Amino acid sequence: KRSSESSLTLFSHMELSLSHRLFNSSSSLPSLFNSRIKLSQTHLFSLNNHHQKLQFFTGLHHKLATSMEPQTTIPHAFDNGSSITSSETGRIGEVKRTTKETNVHVKINLDGTGVAENNSGIPFLDHMLDQLASHGLFNVHVKATGDIHIDDHHTNEDVALAIGTALLQALGDRKGINRFGDFSAPLDEALVHVSLDLSGRPHLNFDVQIPTQRVGTYDTQLVEHFFQSLVNTSGMTLHIRQLAGKNSHHIIEATFKAFARALRQATEYDLRRGGSVPSSKGVLSRS
């Protein structure tokens, strides 16, 4: 019993020391980490019961983990015909875009777990959006209706515009992020390289040769148009380059997988940056 109490006392000092170091260094961390847990030493050392002490430290660990979760308010997006519908906190963007041709609702959580709920009315596009969620570890929710009785062009475009706007919202002032992402994804004989910069300056370089005009009912020309639309509203510099590939489905899917992983890299936090904007200009904004 004496040895157990001694261990708990040592553990108590370690917990207090860890908390002290975390909170004293919080000014150099991103604002999203800037939460504090107040510990009462009187309460801490008055817990004489072994079971009570263990419960206390379990609760403390939970509070520490919770305090490190992102708590950024969603900023207003620029006007591109979309409206903001979410009042949640965190790196979440939610957009409704309604035109005479389409009705689109998009929600993206950059700190998700890969949950995909996509129903655009275009099965192949939904399959690609599932890749974005799964390999980027984003939660992606897309619901769209459109004039697909004519063709998929308008729905494909407006879904991409809404996703770009949702990304713009979720990124906010872009403080503390890596900003750059680079990834090459193989899929059987296909290999596609994606490099991107969350620069605030929209630019697309699309060097991909898709050998067939369609995959299922999906017009493969719409792949480039999807990324161009997403780039325009998100303020992203995006380079996509095909290194190998003969099968159209493989080439397109490798493109979305590489894009997802590169975007994941770019949106993740760089702790060494301490919450500063990753630019020598001191600002990253949609031009």
Nearest to 201 by CA among 286, 280, 77: 286
Read off the tokens for 153.
Answer: 């062009």
The per-residue pLDDT for 281 is 61
Residue 52 confidence (pLDDT): 53
> 211 CB contacts (<8 Å, ≥6 apart)?
246, 247, 248, 251
Task: Give the model's pLDDT for residue 152.
Answer: 98
CB atoms under 10 Å from CB of 141, counted, come to: 19
pLDDT per residue as tens digits for the range 186-235: 999 999 999 999 988 999 999 999 999 999 999 999 999 999 999 999 99
What pLDDT shows up at residue 283? 61
Q: pLDDT value at position 272?
A: 80
pLDDT of residue 90: 62
Question: Residues 177, 87: contact at Cβ < 8 Å?
Answer: no
Q: Is the whole model's pTM more than 0.85, yes or no?
A: no
Determine the pLDDT at residue 55. Answer: 53
Q: Which residue, among 45, 42, 48, 270, has the nearest Cα to 177 in the 3D structure?
A: 270
Spans in the chain with pLDDT lower than 70 = 1-90, 276-287
Q: How many CA atoms lie within 13 A of 163 on its CB side?
A: 30
